[in-house]
Amino acid sequence: METRARSSLFLYAVWMVAFVIAPIVLVVYYSMLDLNGHFTLANYANFFSWAYLKMTLTSFWYAFLITAFTLLFAYPTAYLLTKTKHKQLWLMLIIIPSWINLLLKTYAFIGIFGLYGPINAFLEVFGFEPKQILFTDFSFIFVAVYIFIPFMILPIFNALDKMDKTLVYAARDLGASGWTTFRRVVFPLTIDGVKSGIQVTFIPALSLFMITRLIAGNKVITLGTAIEQQFLVAQNWGMGSTIAVFLILIMVVSMLFTGNKTRGGRAL
Amino acid sequence: MSKLTMTARIYLAVVFVILYAPIFYLIFYSFNSGGTMYTFESFTMEHYAAVFEDTRLIVILINTVLVALLSGLISTIIGTLGAIGIVSLKNQKLRSTILSLNNVLIVSPDVVIGASFLILFTIIGVKLGFASVLVSHIAFSVPIVVLMVLPKLLEMNSSLIDAAHDLGATKRDVLTRVILPYIQPGIFAGFFLALTYSLDDFAVTFFVTGNGFSTLSVEIYSMARAGISLTVNAISGLVFLVTVLVVIGYYMILRRSDKDAKTEVRA
């Protein structure tokens, strides 16, 4: 038994050291280097400067809005899905769009929100002047919610599906209103699903950079955009790593918060 | 089963329409001879022809599929062996530490994974290109395979293994004829997820791909930054077709193994 364990763990252990531990160590190490490779804490000082703090706060604000709207639309959808007759089939239909390449879906919105796109054509029917919807906060948040919603629906659906239905009947029999039943029974029982849904939305939302570039047109700078900017444009790996360290810390906090019951980010 | 109210039906219908509208919008205009996504002039297949005539694009498509298949295969092997190893660990503390570390790459933002891998490859001296992209895809797919295989291993009755040993099976026999057949559904699920992770990845690839090597996601990104090109629409038509076929295949396998095992692979 023991020898089998050791030999089958070998490759996995190599993977873990090389691609989990080493990258984290390297990011922390690089965050303490300046452009010339000398040891410095200037990156951290820089990170706590007003310009970066403001960017971090805006990034958090956007991530919060994206997560809140995603939850707001995902929960009722998941709830209603569990009530449909062929719920597994409907769930699969919800999941399929999430399998289409992310870039293609984002690209679609460049056309849809464009000056001559269908949304503006539709608004024109009601006498509104066409205007640029692309490159606004609205378009950014809409597209992000669109991208994340299947990943929020899935864990909530699973939680709702596993819930003991008789508890709802019991609550109703004892005189609870529909809303009270939801607030005091259904929601607390599905909180784990909500938590994993938030986890797979909030951190990715903080680190978006492709959608900000294509849809928000560089107007919205998230932490992810800043990392990409520092690494690939400014070539300042030290500063980029400092922001990455901050994101890793947030991730650790969120892992503790959700009690390590992660069910896999994009998992179907 | 309670009946859905009219409002509920409308709400679900709206959600479905919004989810699918952008995809069908792209596919609809892929047949437009007009060259824009605004006015539909007449039906044409020229954009599909353009995809197949563009050798550079074909090479990128082949690269993307090759990376997905190879990374899926290799990460499935590493992940399955890893899961078997984790289950046989007696030390609970070590086991939960390993599982936490396993989840790091799943909850890590793509940008952080990409940036840290870029540092890693640069330090080791790996040339950015096919190798770095393939290794990165293997790296971020391993943990998801472990998570898919682990539940199957945990529900397996350990007396099956003891019985095999008692009946004179070698370690190799136990692995190939008892354990692997039993956890097969988990392995398949892991492989499919690894495939989709790889095909869908943009951020990590974007960081670790050099000049000269590109996957579909990265290519679409640069095309989209340059503006609207109906070739991208034609690509999305093809991708949608392949995705639907893969989903159907995945569910068929899942269904069959569900019937075999009478248990669910995933919660």
Residue A30 one-letter amino acid: Y
Residue A20: other Cβ atoms inside 10 A: 21
pLDDT in tens, A119-160: 888 888 888 888 888 888 899 999 999 999 999 999 999 999
Q: Could you tell me the domains of chain B?
A: 54-261 (1.10.3720.10)
CB within 8 Å: A146 and B247 = no
CA distances, A44 to each of A41, A120, A221, A225, A226 (Å): 5, 45, 19, 18, 15
* CA neighbor of A200 nearest in space, from A86, A66, A73, A100: A66
The residue that leads in pLDDT, A258 or A154, is A154
Nearest CA in chain A to B23: A105
Please give the model's pTM, rounded to 2 decimal places.
0.87
pLDDT in tens, A228-244: 999 999 999 999 999 99
Residue A96, min C-alpha distance to chain B (Å)? 7
The angle formed by the CA atoms of residues A119, A125 and A126, to the nearest 5 degrees, is 100
Residue A260: is its pLDDT beyond 80? no
Contacts of A232 (CB under 8 A, 6+ apart): B206, B207
Mean pLDDT, range B119-144, rounded to an integer: 95
Residue B266: is its pLDDT beyond 80? no
Average pLDDT, chain B: 88
CB within 8 Å: B203 and A209 = yes
Residue A186: is its pLDDT beyond 50? yes
Residue A140: other Cβ atoms inside 10 A: 25
DSSP state of A134: T
What is the pLDDT, as a whole number, of residue B260? Answer: 61
Give B150's strand partners.
none
Domain ranges of chain A: 52-224
pLDDT in tens, A92-126: 888 888 888 889 999 999 989 988 888 888 888 88
pLDDT in tens, B20-31: 999 999 999 999
Q: How confident is the model at residue B160 (pLDDT cuts 50, 70, 90)?
A: confident
Q: How confident is the model at residue B15 (pLDDT cuts 50, 70, 90)?
A: very high
* Per-residue exposure over A221-259, b if at least 16 CB sit within 10 Å of its own CB, e if not: bbbbbbbbbbbbeeebbbbbbbbbbbbbebbeebbeebe
Mean pLDDT, range B108-132, rounded to an integer: 94
Beta carbons of B86 and B100 less than 8 angstroms apart: no
Residue A37: is its pLDDT beyond 70? yes
CATH topology of domain A52-224: MetI-like fold (1.10.3720)
> Could you give the CA distance from residue A110 to residue A184 in angstroms, rounded to a whole number?
42
The residue that leads in pLDDT, B206 or A37, is B206
- Per CB-CB distance under 8 Å, the chain B contacts of A114 are 37-38, 228
Residue B131, min C-alpha distance to chain A (Å)? 15
Q: Where do we find the tokens 């090759």?
A: B66
- Per CB-CB distance under 8 Å, the chain A contacts of B171 are 3-4
The residue that leads in pLDDT, B234 or B212, is B234
How high is the ipTM of this complex? 0.87
Q: How confident is the model at residue B3 (pLDDT cuts 50, 70, 90)?
A: low
CB within 8 Å: A102 and B217 = yes
Residue A217, min C-alpha distance to chain B (Å)? 10
> Could you give the CA distance from residue B264 to residue A60 in angstroms, rounded to a whole number?
37
Q: How confident is the model at residue B171 (pLDDT cuts 50, 70, 90)?
A: confident
* CA neighbor of A102 nearest in space, from B13, B243, B106, B51: B243
Residue A50, min C-alpha distance to chain B (Å)? 23
What is the pLDDT, as a whole number, of residue A152? Answer: 94
> Could you give the CA distance from residue B4 to residue B124 in angstroms, rounded to a whole number?
59
